[in-house]
Amino acid sequence: MSARLKPGASTLKRERPAADSHPSSGGRAPLLYAIAALLALLGLADAVYLTINHLTGQTARCTVTGGCNEVLGSAYATAGGVPIAALGAVAYFAVFSLATLVLFGYRWARTILALLVGLMLLTTLWLLFVQAFILHKFCDYCLLSATIILILSGIVVIASRRERAAE
């Protein structure tokens, strides 16, 4: 499908950092993308834990909200037979990968990252609605994930604005 890559030639248009910018530029907001990558790791750990709990039928322990059983055992915890947590783990891993690539100057990754985080935000809003108005229960791990995604969304918006202002 693709021609063999020659050294130094990449189809992935790697953005070369400008002489006056940060060595691993991450566009104009390297710190923001580094934070995004770390947050994605936290979300990944959360989602992997919930996925394993789901697959093994274990009960996650909610120490704050007390609604883990009801939320994680509900019909809303799966989509087409696939645990939502497993989809979340894949999404968080993708966010981590994309944020890392942006940090290393791969400009194309920014757009995909923004789209992915937007999709995750919409899913999160739906899941928050389900917890608040349908199940009337919240689970600690879901709220942690929602917080991470809200912060990630903020980071993506701020980073985009900074980059647009700089261009």
Q: How far is the CB of 111 from another protein (least distance, A)?
A: 17
Interactions with another protein, residue window 93-152 (CB under 8 A): 93, 96-97, 100-101, 103-104, 106, 135-136
Q: How far apart are CA 89 and CA 131, in angstroms?
A: 20
Stretch that binds another protein, among 91-99, 121-129, 140-148, 151-159 (CB under 8 A): 91-99
Q: What is the dihedral of CA 61, 74, 146, 109, to 10 degrees?
A: 120
Of 65, 70, 121, 151, which one interacts with another protein (CB under 8 A)?
70
H/E segment holding residue 161: helix 140-166
Residue 2 interacting with another protein (CB under 8 A) = no
- The site for another protein (CB under 8 A) is made up of 14, 41, 44-45, 48-49, 51-59, 69-70, 72-75, 77-78, 89, 93, 96-97, 100-101, 103-104, 106, 135-136
